[in-house]
Structure 1
Amino acid sequence: MIEFNVPPLAGLFLDAFGVKIGGIYRPEASTGKADDPAGLFTGIEIIEDINDAYEMSALGTPILWPILFSKSDLAKKYNNKGELIDFNSQDFRLPIASIISFRRDKIMSTTKVNGGRGSVKEIYGFDDWQITINGFLIPDASQPQGLKNSLQQEKELIKWDNCASRVDVFGELFSVRGIKSLTIKGINFEPLRGKPNIRAYTINALSDEPIELNIKSSI
Structure 2
Amino acid sequence: MNFNFNTKELLIRHFPFKLGFATEAVAEAVLNGFDDIAVLPTNNELMAVSAIGVPVWDYIDILPSYIEGTGESFSGYKFPRETTLEAVRVKKIVETDVMGRDGSVEELISMDDWQLTIRGLIINYESTDYPEEQVKELQKVCELKTSLLEVCGTFLTMLDIKYFSIHRLVLNPSLGYSNIQSFEIEAKSKIPFIIEP
Is the TM-score greater than 0.5? yes
C-alpha change, 1:164 and 1:44, in structure 2 (3 Å) is farther
More displaced, 167-176 or 115-124? 115-124
Give, in angstroms, the shift of residue 140 of structure 1. 5.4
Q: Distance in 2 between matches of 1:119 and 1:70?
A: 45
Normalized per residue, which structure has more strand?
2
| Counterpart for residue 25 of structure 2 | none
| Counterpart for residue 72 of structure 1 | 65
Give TM-score, length-normalised by structure 1.
0.65
Question: 5 Å matches for 1:29-68?
Answer: 37-40=3-6, 45-48=40-43, 52-68=45-61
Q: Percent of aligned pairs with the same residue?
A: 26
Question: 5 Å matches for 1:77-156?
Answer: 84-86=70-72, 88-139=73-124, 150-156=131-137
Give, in angstroms, the shift of residue 186 of structure 1. 1.6
| Counterpart for residue 80 of structure 1 | none
Q: Deviations over 1:34-82 (max 9, x none)?
A: xx94232566542235xx2321234443122111111333x245xxxxx
C-alpha change, 1:43 and 1:71, in structure 2 (3 Å) is farther
Is the 1:47–1:53 contact (alpha carbons within 8 Å) kept by the matching residues of 2? no
Runs of 5+ consecutive residues of structure 2 not aligned to the other structure: 8-36
| Counterpart for residue 190 of structure 2 | 208
Runs of 5+ consecutive residues of structure 1 not aligned to the other structure: 1-35, 78-83, 142-148
Give TM-score, length-normalised by structure 2.
0.72
Q: Distance in 1 between matches of 2:142 and 2:131?
A: 16
Which structure has the larger Rg over C-alpha atoms? 2
Q: Distance in 1 between matches of 2:139 and 2:81?
A: 17
- Residue correspondences, number: 163
| CA RMSD after TM alignment | 2.4
Is the 1:76–1:163 contact (alpha carbons within 8 Å) kept by the matching residues of 2? no
Q: Distance in 2 between matches of 1:67 and 1:140?
A: 20
Question: Matched residue of 2:150: which SS?
Answer: strand
